[in-house]
Each structure stands twice: as structure tokens, then as C-alpha cells.
Amino acid sequence: MSQEDRREAIIDAAIEVAIEKGLGATTVRDVAGRMGSSSGLIHHYFDSMDLVLASAFRKVAEKDLATSRDELAALDDPVTQLAHFVNTYFSPDRDSAFQFWLDAWSEAGRNGALQQASSSLNIDWQQTLLTIIESGVASGDFECSDPLGASWSTVSLLDGLALQIVAHRTVLSRDQSILWAAATIERDLGLRSGVLTHAAAPVGAASP
Amino acid sequence: MSQEDRREAIIDAAIEVAIEKGLGATTVRDVAGRMGSSSGLIHHYFDSMDLVLASAFRKVAEKDLATSRDELAALDDPVTQLAHFVNTYFSPDRDSAFQFWLDAWSEAGRNGALQQASSSLNIDWQQTLLTIIESGVASGDFECSDPLGASWSTVSLLDGLALQIVAHRTVLSRDQSILWAAATIERDLGLRSGVLTHAAAPVGAASP
DNA sequence: CCTTTTGTTGGACACCCGCTCAACTGGCCA
DNA sequence: TGGCCAGTTGAGCGGGTGTCCAACAAAAGG
């Protein structure tokens, strides 16, 4: 097993544990136990446990983002892309990844490696949205004088709603949140009301 | 010193420590040390440390909310109230309180007492906004067919932006965030562009 | 084949956690 | 003055943490 593979195996084990116990409560011994190896091994590949946790967060968040980007790439017009983005953002499949985000945001102020990973990946999500918005403005589908502001407002609105769903469970329903987010985003981008939600639902849309 | 005073003193000490070390990293010994008392005392007044932390969060969040509501009560028309709300939401004064929110959202899934405090206080903030929006609709200042949705979208948007400011520090500027949030909220409530930010700035508005 | 290198082990270290409990203190009442 | 008791102490318990490191195993190189 190559050095790189071993590192990935450690990160994967850390992810599995963190999903069950939380990022902050994931320990060296947990990870070693999950891998069936010794605890010393982890420190042979990582200088500190903080780096393991930051790597775990980064891998989860990167995979989550890559999945989203792949799905978006399969759609061709900006309106459909945006509709897909909004309709899938609160999917239960993303709950565990979103809990990683909550943990990262909370810990960012005290763990430098995490803050760097968290802020750069947050920017990546906003950039993904910015690309959609700019292409929509270019094609005439959207009407928006400030795509940068719209992209940040949109991710922030979605994150704020997702946060309620994941942290508080029953306070907001997923479907209701989609409708509320869509309404605001439609107004921000000069779309007719309902365009984002009445569109033929893309693969994996809505939620149970 | 009465029982109630002692409890409050413990909570206050826990708050001081939590501001420095984070809610999750605050220990019984830290709190006792800050008070200059023994660790046993804390357990004489609280059944568990989790309850101390939940109480600390609740006190910070309640005070933060009460301050906001008092300021709003001093203003009379809905537009001025909403402008004040938006212009003060990202104030540096609120940073430490907001870090408590980040910690609470992260920990909510694993600490029942915290989840209850966090979700009910989140609803209180949304209700505050809902009251403003409903009075604005009644007075004809706002145009909004779904005040409930608008209130949730607005808190979520503000929380999402505040989260970037507090967790990632330099990714977004406070002033820029106010402008972006205001633009979206104005569209949601049928206000003329700039009404929320060009209004005579209320006490403590903007940020350095 | 024997040495060297590399990967891996798991016990040990120093420190921290929440929580319990017997012992102590000091003010109040009889 | 003596007894009482709520308030308070802090050592101690069982268990946890990240990190280090001498010892071992196994593959690589001569």
C-alpha cells in the first residue's frame, strides 16, 4: 500500500467516525480502531490530529462539491442548473456533509487548518453559483446587476436555511425551505415566480 | 448570596470562559477557576456540565435578542425598524454572541439541552422579524404575500452572511454584506432599492 | 544470506475530563 | 454555649486525550 493510499485510508476512516461522533469528538484511537491499525500509525502519516480532521472535512466537502458540479455540468441552460441547485441543496443525502460544515464553521476560529479549508471551499461553492448566474445574465435568462452579490446572497440564504434543517431537525421542512429559497432567488434574478420549482424536477430533486 | 445569584454567577463565569475557548472546550475546572471557587460547587448547582453550557448559550442569546428588541421598540415605523435590523446584524459587538450560535448549531445534534435552547431562540429571532414584516404589510410599507416565508428567508440570509464574517473573518466585509442583504430583502418586501441602507443610519449602525 | 531501510506496533507519559463524596466551615437557632 | 445544617471544599475515581518512542516485522539492496 502506497504512502498516498495509506493517507487516504486514514482520512476515510476519520470521515466514518466523524459522521457518527462529530468532527470535534473524533479521536486518534477511534480512527485507528476503525482501520484495525495502531494509533501510532496515524502520527506516522500526519503531524497532528488537527490535520487529520481538517483533511477529513476537506475530502467530504470536496466530494460534495464535485458531485454537485458534475450534475450541473450535465444540464445546459442556466435556469435548469439553478433550479437543480436549489432543489437539491437540502437533500437528506447531504445532511452528514452539512454537519461537517457546521462543525467546521464552529471550529474555524480555533483551528487554522480548518479555517483555510472551510473558507476556500465556501468560496468554491459561491463561485459555482456565480458561474451559473453570469451565464444566465449573458444568455438573457437572468436580470441581475450584481452577480457577485447575488451569488453570495444565494449561498448564504441556502446555508442559513440548511442550517435550520440540519441543526434543529423539525423547525423547518425541506420542501417548504425550497419554496421559500426559490421565491427569493427568483426575485433576485428577475425570474418569473415559480420558474425554479415548477420546472421539470431534475434527478434527485425534492425530498421525502 | 442566594441560590439564584450563585447560579447566575456560574453561568456568567462559563460565558467568560466560552468566549475565550469556545463553548465545547469549556470545562468545569475552567469555570470554577474563573469564579475562584471549587469544581464541586458547579455540580451542586447544576446536574451536569451540559446544562451549564446550554444555560450559558441561552443567557448570551437571550441578552442579545433582548437588546435588539429594545432598540427596535424605540423605533416606530416598520421601514426604520427593518433598516436598523439589517444595519446592525453584522456589528462587531455581536461577534462573540454569534460564535456562540455557531457552536450551538454545531453541537445541537449531540446536546439535547442545547438544541432546544438554540431552536427556540432561533424561532424568537424569526418571530421578531415576522412582527416587523406583518406591521409593514399592514401599514402598506411592505408588499409581501408570504410574511412567514419572508421572515425565515431574511434571518437565514443574515445568518448565512454573518457566518462567513465570523467564521472566515476576511472573506466578506461587513459593509458589503449589509448592502447585499439589504438589496435582497428590499426585493422580497417590495421596497425601493436603497431604502434600507440610505435611511438615516440608526444608533450603532454600520461597522468599522 | 545478511544488513539496511521502511512501515508498523502498542505501551508509556503527562495531562485533562465530568463527576462523587467525606470532610470541613461558618452562620443561625435553641 | 452547643448543636445543626446548608454551603462549600478538593482529593480522588475511572476514564479519556494527543503524542512520543523503543521495539519489532518485513521487504529491499548488497
pLDDT tens track for A54-63: 999 999 999 9
**Average pLDDT rounded to a whole number, residues A118-138:** 98
**Amino acid found at A86:** V
Q: Cα–Cα distances in Å, from B20 out to A26, A67, A110, A140, B41? A: 22, 37, 10, 50, 22
3-state secondary structure of B46: coil
More confident of the two residues B28 and A112? B28
Residue B177: is its pLDDT beyond 80?
A: yes
Q: How far is A171 from chain B (nearest CA, A)?
A: 7
Distance CA A150, CA B180 (A): 7
Residue A200: is its pLDDT beyond 70?
A: no
Say if CB B57 and CB B117 are below 8 A apart: yes
The pLDDT-based confidence of B112 (bands split at 50, 70, 90) is confident
State the cell numbers at B192: 425601493
State the cell numbers at B34: 474563573
pLDDT at position B113 = 87
More confident of the two residues A73 and B203? A73
pLDDT at position A113 = 87
**Average pLDDT rounded to a whole number, residues B157-181:** 97
Q: What is the DSSP letter of B191?
A: P
Distance CA A17, CA A31 (A): 7
pLDDT at position A142 = 98
Q: Cα–Cα distances in Å, from A38 out to A10, A21, A22, A24, B29? A: 11, 20, 21, 21, 32
CA atom of A35 to C1′ atom of D11, Å: 39
pLDDT at position B37 = 95
pLDDT at position B110 = 84
Residues 6+ apart with CB under 8 A from A92: A174, A207, A208
Q: What is the DSSP letter of B135?
A: H
Percentage of residues of chain B with pLDDT beyond 90: 89
Least confident piece of the model among A12-16, A134-138, B3-7, B200-204: B200-204
**Average pLDDT of the residues of chain A:** 94
Nearest to B181 among A153, A158, A176 (CB): A153
Distance CA A91, CA A165 (A): 10
pLDDT at position B77 = 95
Quick one: angle between helices A95-107 and A112-139, nearest 10? 120
Protein residues bordering strand C (Cβ below 7 A): A 1, 3, 6, 37-41, 44; B 26-30, 39-40, 43-44, 48-50
N- to C-terminal Cα separation, chain A: 41
pLDDT at position A37 = 95
Length of chain B: 208
Residue B160: is its pLDDT beyond 80?
A: yes
pLDDT at position B30 = 97
CA atom of A30 to C1′ atom of D15, Å: 15
pLDDT at position A118 = 96
For strand D, list residues 20-79 of chain A whose Cβ lies within 7 Å of it: 26-30, 39-40, 43, 48-50
Angle B62-B97-B154 from CA coordinates, rounded to 5°: 80
3-class secondary structure per residue, A109-153: CCCHHHHHHHHHHHHHHHHHHHHHHHHHHHHCCCCCCCHHHHHHH
**Average pLDDT rounded to a whole number, residues A99-128:** 94
State the cell numbers at A139: 444568455
**Amino acid found at B205:** A
pLDDT at position A205 = 46
The pLDDT-based confidence of B207 (bands split at 50, 70, 90) is very low
What number of other Cβ atoms are within 10 A of residue A7's Cβ? 15
Residues in A touching B183 (Cβ below 8 Å)? 146, 149, 153, 188
Quick one: angle between helices B3-21 and B49-73, nearest 10? 90
The pLDDT-based confidence of B200 (bands split at 50, 70, 90) is low
The pLDDT-based confidence of A110 (bands split at 50, 70, 90) is confident
The model scores a pTM over 0.85? yes
Distance CA A125, CA A151 (A): 9
Residue B204: is its pLDDT beyond 60?
A: no
pLDDT at position A198 = 82
Distance CA B57, CA B23 (A): 8
**Average pLDDT rounded to a whole number, residues A36-42:** 96
Asked if strand D comes closer than 7 Å to B39 Cβ, the answer is: yes
Residue A207: is its pLDDT beyond 80?
A: no
